[in-house]
């Protein structure tokens, strides 16, 4: 009887994990779909490059602006049903975006951005509610990896689908991922797996003291030591450095994720299909980087690793600018670094945090600033290209953003380490 109960509990836990990972595949896939076929969309809808860039940048802006709306939906319906709303709205958004006019394309993009903002909040809340702290940390990492995997699949397959069926069907087809995710999600919710996945849900990620992370096997552990519990957020130099660094990172990342296929087609001999695969490789390297660089930090000062990551990140825009024929090297190095910087940089927030509430406030500030910055970068790059007829100026701007990012990252790493050591 005991073995039967254990098997039943393990089965429900597996169902919960499957449901979360199915949702994870939707986290970035649908908003990434236009990037490999952006030139075709531009041509058919009569968009200039700045407006076309909004198809990539608008969802990022919504990640900042739609937070109040997403919070109301989650509060009214609960996080589980809010995910139902997210999945349904994703399907609506991809259909509207593919109706064949610029107005519908932009409107559908807004709908998608709002839908995914709900998931950005609801899914971490569910994971934190259902799982003990150590498992919640691991589950969030796996969620991020599957989210990147969804982007890889989208980047690799959208251009071939567009060649076979047209770009409208190609970018609409990714709504199937939301329909598929609904199956394990509804089954998990209605079978009771949501309330049984965690053995100690009261020790959730968002309610446990942040210092507890230092006792886990987290790649960015909190450093024990005296702390000043009156630390501010908006008045903190170190938090502003983290926010500014993440904003520059987001700027560069969204330029490359939005325009990389187009840049490669114009500056190398790649076809649009091959360029889409190159973008998929760039994202795939990010899965490795997200796990590699935090392990290099451990409990040591983060500034040297941030300097290494920043240098590798800079190699992508500088390499595409100066030696585009060597693009595989630049995309591998930049792909490893872009996710590595993200994870190490957010590790600084955990290192500086006093408690969970302090962590949430810092994350809210950093993400609001960074996503607002990132939302404009693809459009700025597109406007620069339209003005000059070449990708040189956009790549120079992107390279400059990575230089500022690297300086800010090292400065933030040094300052946060000193604050933790001194207890300020």
pTM listed for this prediction: 0.70
In this predicted structure, what is the pLDDT of residue 194? 67
Mean pLDDT for the stretch of residues 281-310: 82
- Residue 356 pLDDT greater than 60, yes or no: no
Estimate to the nearest angstrom the gap between the alpha carbon of 164 and the chain centroid. 29
Q: Which domains does the chain have, with CATH numbers?
A: 1-208 (1.20.1250.20), 210-424 (1.20.1250.20)
CA dist., res. 339 & res. 334, Å (int): 9
CA dist., res. 256 & res. 294, Å (int): 23
Q: What is the DSSP letter of 98?
A: T
Mean pLDDT for the stretch of residues 104-128: 86
Mean pLDDT for the stretch of residues 131-143: 63
Using DSSP, state whether 357 is helix, strand or coil.
helix
Lowest mean pLDDT among 2-6, 21-25, 91-95, 285-289: 2-6
Helices (H), 269-326: 272-297, 303-322
- Residue 142 pLDDT greater than 90, yes or no: no
The model's pLDDT over 151-163, given as tens digits with 9 standing for 90+, comes to 888 888 898 999 9
CA dist., res. 209 & res. 230, Å (int): 16
Q: Which two tokens stand for residue 422?
A: 């001194």
- Residue 222 pLDDT greater than 50, yes or no: no
In this predicted structure, what is the pLDDT of residue 120? 78
Q: Which two tokens stand for residue 139?
A: 């589950």
Lowest mean pLDDT among 32-41, 56-65, 290-299: 290-299
């Amino acid at each position: 009887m005991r073995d039967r109960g254990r098997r039943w509990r393990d089965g429900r836990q597996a169902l919960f994990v499957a449901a979360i990972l199915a949702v994870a595949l939707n986290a970035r896939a649908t908003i990434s779909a236009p990037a490999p076929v952006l030139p075709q969309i531009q041509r058919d809808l009569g968009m200039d490059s700045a407006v076309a860039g909004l198809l990539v940048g608008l969802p990022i802006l919504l990640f900042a602006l739609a937070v109040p709306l997403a919070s109301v939906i989650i509060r009214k319906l609960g996080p589980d049903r809010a995910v139902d709303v997210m999945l349904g709205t994703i399907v609506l958004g991809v259909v509207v975006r593919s109706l064949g006019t610029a107005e519908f394309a932009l409107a559908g993009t807004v709908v998608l951005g709002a839908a995914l903002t709900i998931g950005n909040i609801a899914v971490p809340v569910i994971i934190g509610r259902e799982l003990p702290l150590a498992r919640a940390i691991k589950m969030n990492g796996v969620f991020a990896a599957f989210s990147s995997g969804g982007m890889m699949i989208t980047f690799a397959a959208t251009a071939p689908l567009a060649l076979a069926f047209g770009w409208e069907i190609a970018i609409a087809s990714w709504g199937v991922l939301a329909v598929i995710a609904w199956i394990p999600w509804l089954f998990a919710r209605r079978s009771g797996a949501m309330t049984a996945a965690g053995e100690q849900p009261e020790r959730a990620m968002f309610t446990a003291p942040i210092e507890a992370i230092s006792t886990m096997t987290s790649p960015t552990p909190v450093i024990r030591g005296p702390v000043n519990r009156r630390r501010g957020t908006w008045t903190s130099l170190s938090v502003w450095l983290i926010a500014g660094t993440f904003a520059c990172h987001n700027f560069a990342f969204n330029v490359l994720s939005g325009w990389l296929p187009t840049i490669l087609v114009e500056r190398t001999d790649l076809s649009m299909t091959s360029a889409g695969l190159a973008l998929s490789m760039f994202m795939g390297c990010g899965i490795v980087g997200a796990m590699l660089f935090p392990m290099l930090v451990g409990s040591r000062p983060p500034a040297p690793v941030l300097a290494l990551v920043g240098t590798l990140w800079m190699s992508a825009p500088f390499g595409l600018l100066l030696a585009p024929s060597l693009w595989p090297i630049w995309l591998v190095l930049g792909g490893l670094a872009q996710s590595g910087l993200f994870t190490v940089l957010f590790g600084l927030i955990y290192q500086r945090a006093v408690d969970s509430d302090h962590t949430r406030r810092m994350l809210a500030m950093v993400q609001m600033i960074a996503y607002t910055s990132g939302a404009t970068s693809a459009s700025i790059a597109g406007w620069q290209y339209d003005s000059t007829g070449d990708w040189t100026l956009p790549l120079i701007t992107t390279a400059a953003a990575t230089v500022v990012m690297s300086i800010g990252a090292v400065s933030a790493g040094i300052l946060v380490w000193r604050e933790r050591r001194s207890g300020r």
